[in-house]
């Protein structure tokens, strides 16, 4: 009886792995949740510091200042393919930039990543103005920087991305210019890196 149970377990595990492989190959999208780390590039951090602009985070996002540049940890949820070729994610919380000398400010919230288009949009609010949707940055992903854990009987699966550079768009540069007179880096250069880890949500979530 025990032998039959072991065989059944092995067969079930193989079936789950095979089904997951087929789903990934077909570009199936899975519900996920996790954290996105958005860290200022050295050039952007240096320019903001020179301009007297301070970075802060709005809950549930958290500011991490332990590294060489400020990082914001954003909780996120989404629906993505495990090969990160399609799907999207949306974060919670915000990151704010404030210049103490004149009170100028910019708040970026509800970051939204489109994996197919390789873009990240935000709701951007300058000072007390109403927020507007801004295509902040674009990016490219090297699959060597992506670690995928396939769904199995012991794990629902996960995707982990090492830090990769984003590229500031003209629209993104314009909203920083509106707030502070100039962007922290020119359009076409990297304002920040993005990294993250998401876990596939079980079917009952």
What is residue 17's predicted lDDT score, i.e. its pLDDT?
A: 40
Q: How many domains does the chain have?
A: 1
CB–CB of 158/119 below 8 Å? no
Tell me which DSSP letter residue 33 carries: E
Portion of the chain with pLDDT greater than 90, in percent = 81
82 lies in some domain: yes
Phi, psi dihedral angles at 64 (to 5 degrees): -115, 110
148 lies in some domain: yes
53 lies in some domain: yes
| Average per-residue pLDDT for the chain | 88
Place of tokens 């060597």: 144
CB–CB of 160/146 below 8 Å? yes
Q: Could you tell me the pTM of the whole model?
A: 0.84
Q: Residue 44 belongs to what domain range?
A: 2-200
Token code pair at residue 181: 């007179």
Pairwise CA distance, residues 186 & 182, whole Å:
8
- Mean pLDDT of all residues in 81-94: 96
205 lies in some domain: no
What is residue 5's predicted lDDT score, i.e. its pLDDT?
A: 42
73 lies in some domain: yes
Token code pair at residue 141: 């992903």
136 lies in some domain: yes
Is the link from the previous residue into 49 a cis peptide, with omega within 30 of 0? no
Rg of the chain over Cα atoms, rounded to whole angstroms, equals 20
192 lies in some domain: yes
Q: Which residues pair with 5 in a beta bridge?
A: none
Tell me which DSSP letter residue 143 carries: G
């Amino acid at each position: 009886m025990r032998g039959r149970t072991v065989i059944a377990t092995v067969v079930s595990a193989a079936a789950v792995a095979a089904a997951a492989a087929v789903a990934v190959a077909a570009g199936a999208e899975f519900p996920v949740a996790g954290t996105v780390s958005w860290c200022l590039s050295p050039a952007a951090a240096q320019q903001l510091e020179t301009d007297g602009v301070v970075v802060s985070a709005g809950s549930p996002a958290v500011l991490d200042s332990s590294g060489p540049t400020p990082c914001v940890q954003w909780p996120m949820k989404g629906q993505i393919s495990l090969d990160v070729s399609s799907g999207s994610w949306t974060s919670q919380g915000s990151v704010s930039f404030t210049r103490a000398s004149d009170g100028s400010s910019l708040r970026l919230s509800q970051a939204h990543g489109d994996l197919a288009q390789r873009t990240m949009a935000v709701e951007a609010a300058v000072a007390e103005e109403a927020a507007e949707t801004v295509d902040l940055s674009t990016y490219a992903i090297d699959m060597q920087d992506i670690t995928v854990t396939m769904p199995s009987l012991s794990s629902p699966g996960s995707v982990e991305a090492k830090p990769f550079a984003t590229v500031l768009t003209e629209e993104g540069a314009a909203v920083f210019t509106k707030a502070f007179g100039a962007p922290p880096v020119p359009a076409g250069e990297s304002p920040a890196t993005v990294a993250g880890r998401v876990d596939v949500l079980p079917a009952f979530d």
